[in-house]
Amino acid sequence: MKITDKEIKIAQASNGLRNKRSGAYVSFEGWIRDHNEGQNVRRLEYEVYEPIAIKEGENIIDEAKKKFDIHHASCIHRSGLLDIGECAVWVGVSSSHRKDAFEACKFIIDEVKCRLPIWKKEYYENGDSGWVNCETCASN
Amino acid sequence: MSKLIEVSYFAIFREKAGRDSEAFKTKSETVLDLFKEIKKVHGFDEPQGHCKVAMNNDLVQWDAKIEDGDKVLFFPPVSGG
């Protein structure tokens, strides 16, 4: 689990998961989109409490390794200001076969969104800004 | 008996409290009681069930006991990803 305020180097990160036992690699990228709930989004800021985000992210990856038959898994999340189109979060999983890699990848991103102390503030084209609530997590 | 707790706020809690941390004198026994006390002081209206709490840099349950000198971190609803 890594937190960075720099661009996520996806090719480099995915290469770190390569190994001779793996026949499948599944990844997820979360991108900054230009709209949310009817508002035009100009940019976005992530606040991260790193000590617990890293610890909890490692816990999630360990849980995925126990729950699914995978070889390696990794997650990188951005902090700070991001522009539209940038990659905010990357999850990569390698396994012998695709089924467990797909399921583990979904498990990791779902848990990361709900459990890590990370907060998103959107800056809108009309000059307003606002903290975003995770609807999925709020309903749990 | 009163305890002195170092309380830290993040995101919308920090903005509402107007500070990122403070020393808070309390007679609360648990982090939940402390949160209820602080909600009134700073006007937090986020449902407690959507928030998280950490003590001394570990996530804890809301019934965790607080001791004098503890560092308590209150996290508003998260929105990573």
pLDDT of residue A135: 64
Long-range interactions of A6-9: CB distance < 8 A, separation 24+: A7/A86, A7/A87, A8/A76, A8/A78, A8/A87, A8/A89, A8/A90
Residue B8 lies in a domain: yes
What's this model's pTM, rounded to 2 decimal places?
Answer: 0.95
In chain A, which residues have their Cβ closer than 8 Å to the Cβ of B12? 119, 131
Range A69-89 average pLDDT: 98
- Mean pLDDT throughout A59-71? 98
Evaluate whether residue B23 is within a structural domain: yes
pLDDT at B56 over 80: yes
Q: Are B34 and B24 in contact (CB under 8 A)?
A: yes
* Mean pLDDT confidence for A58-68: 98
Is any Cβ of chain A less than 8 angstroms from the Cβ of B62? no
Which residues in B lie closer than 8 A to residue A30 (C-beta atoms)?
81
Q: Does B78 touch chain A (CB under 8 A)?
A: yes
What are the tens digits of pLDDT across the range B13-55? 999 999 999 999 999 999 999 999 999 999 999 999 999 999 9
Residues A32 and A41: their CA atoms lie apart, in Å, by: 9
Among B52, B57, B79, beta carbon nearest to A133? B79
Q: What is the CATH number of the domain that holds B16?
A: 3.10.20.30
> A135 or A77: whose pLDDT is higher?
A77
Residue A119 to residue B81, Cβ atoms within 8 A:
no
User: Quick check: B10 and A114 CB within 8 A?
Assistant: no
Chain B positions touching A117 (Cβ under 8 A) are 10, 52, 54, 75, 78
How confident is the model at residue A133, as a pLDDT? 81
- Residue A81, classed as helix, strand or coil, is strand
Looking at residue B1, its pLDDT comes to 82
B54 touches chain A (CB under 8 A): yes
Q: What is the distance between the alpha carbons of residues A135 and B78, in angstroms, rounded to a whole number? A: 10
- Residue span of the structural domain in which B60 resides: 3-75
Evaluate if residue A41 carries a pLDDT over 60.
yes
Give me the phi and psi of A68, to 5 degrees please.
Answer: -125, 155
Q: What is the DSSP string of chain B?
A: --EEEEEEE-HHHHHHHTSSEEEEEE--SBHHHHHHHHHHHHT--S-GGG-EEEETTEEE-TT-B--TT-EEEEEPPP---
Give pLDDT, residue A136. 62
Question: In this structure, is residue B53 part of a structural domain?
Answer: yes
CB contact under 8 A, A113 and B58: no
Phi, psi angles (nearest 5°) of residue A55: -60, -45
What structural domains and CATH numbers belong to chain A? 2-134 (3.90.1170.40)
Q: With pLDDT > 90 as the criterion, what percentage of chain A qualifies?
A: 94
Closest CA to A68 of A113, A22, A29, A114: A22
Number of cross-chain residue pairs from A and B with Cβ atoms under 8 Å apart: 72
B80 at A interface, C-beta within 8 A:
yes
For residue A140, pLDDT beyond 90: no
In a domain, B81, yes or no: no
Helix or strand run (H / E) with residue A87: strand A87-95
- What is the chain A residue with the closest CA to B74? A117
CA distance A67 to A89: 22
Report the distance separating Cα B67 and Cα A102, nearest Å: 44
pLDDT band at A138 (very low <50, low <70, confident <90, very high): low
- Is position B42 within any domain? yes
Please report whether residue B18 resides in a domain: yes
A72-84 average pLDDT score: 98
What is the tally of structural domains in chain B?
1
